[in-house]
Structure 1
Amino acid sequence: MAVTYRRIHGAPGPDEGVRVLVDRLWPRGLAKEEEAGFDEWLRAVAPSTDLRRWYGHDPDRWAEFRSRYLAELEEPEQAGALAHLRELAGRGPLTLLTATREADRSHAAVLADLLSAEA
């Protein structure tokens, strides 16, 4: 199961497979017409607004953010969205997209790690 993540800004690579935007909010600077740059927008798998605001990409909060986010993924709506990502990953390469500048410390990285560990 090849699951990767990257920032949504920039041209897609040749081996990215299915590209899924996993942010709750529409990315700044991305025009709606450019929506074809990904295959699906899966808002339900993103962290809650409260968690996202609490985290604020503070490196000191990364471990706690990861723990809280994994707990959120057990809620019914989020678990359903995660199951959909598992299904997509089972079909071939999957790229999780985020507008976050620090993608390595984002929910997309947590998701990619989680899905890759299940392979």
Structure 2
Amino acid sequence: MAVITIKKIYAPINKADGFRVFVDRLWPRGLKKENAHFNIWMKDIAPTPELRKWFNHEPEKFNLFGIKYKEELQRNPVVQELLDDTQNHATVTLLYAAKDEHCNHALVLKEYLEGLQG
């Protein structure tokens, strides 16, 4: 069972990050891909464009967003791909570009994945 962490993609890389997975659908502004240092980019594990636009990073919508995003994840075959790709790593770091560290989809994804692990 991997330890799952989350981190902004703009933060410096650290050996403790383990296997780094970028989980945003869109590439972040101002960051060159060669400076991102991720192992895989899983665009399709991110919320759908419709859900992302509805949420609009509005904190008052975060709880409902989490429920809706978890419903999407239950139907998303990419979740199994992520589990398969990360099964042999002690630590998996989910990288995201959102400004708000306390209100973003990576938090919801981390919680969802931890629930699948047991």
TM-score (normalizing by structure 1): 0.88
For residues 44-59 of structure 1, what are the structure 2 equivalents within 5 Å? 44-59=44-59
For residues 10-25 of structure 1, what are the structure 2 equivalents within 5 Å? 10-25=11-26
1:84 partner amino acid: E
Match status 1:2 vs 2:6: no
CA distance in 2, matches of 1:105, 1:98: 11
CA distance in 1, matches of 2:54, 2:41: 23
CA distance in 1, matches of 2:86, 2:115: 12
How many residue pairs get matched?
Answer: 115
2:60 partner amino acid: D
- Identify the residue that residue 65 of structure 1 maps to in structure 2: 65
- Identify the residue that residue 113 of structure 1 maps to in structure 2: 111
CA contact (8 A) 1:47 1:107 kept: yes
Aligned to 1:118, the other structure's residue is in SS state helix
- Identify the residue that residue 84 of structure 1 maps to in structure 2: 81
Shift of 1:62: 0.6
CA distance in 1, matches of 2:87, 2:113: 10
1:101 partner amino acid: K
Aligned to 2:67, the other structure's residue is in SS state helix
1:55 partner amino acid: F
CA distance in 2, matches of 1:44, 1:103: 21
Unaligned runs of 5+ in 1: none
1:32 partner amino acid: K
CA contact (8 A) 2:22 2:41 kept: yes
CA distance in 1, matches of 2:57, 2:115: 24
CA contact (8 A) 1:98 1:108 kept: yes
Tell me the C-alpha RMSD between the 2 structures: 1.4
Aligned to 1:12, the other structure's residue is in SS state coil
Aligned to 2:68, the other structure's residue is in SS state helix
Report % sequence identity: 34
Moved over 4 A (4+): none
TM-score (normalizing by structure 2): 0.89
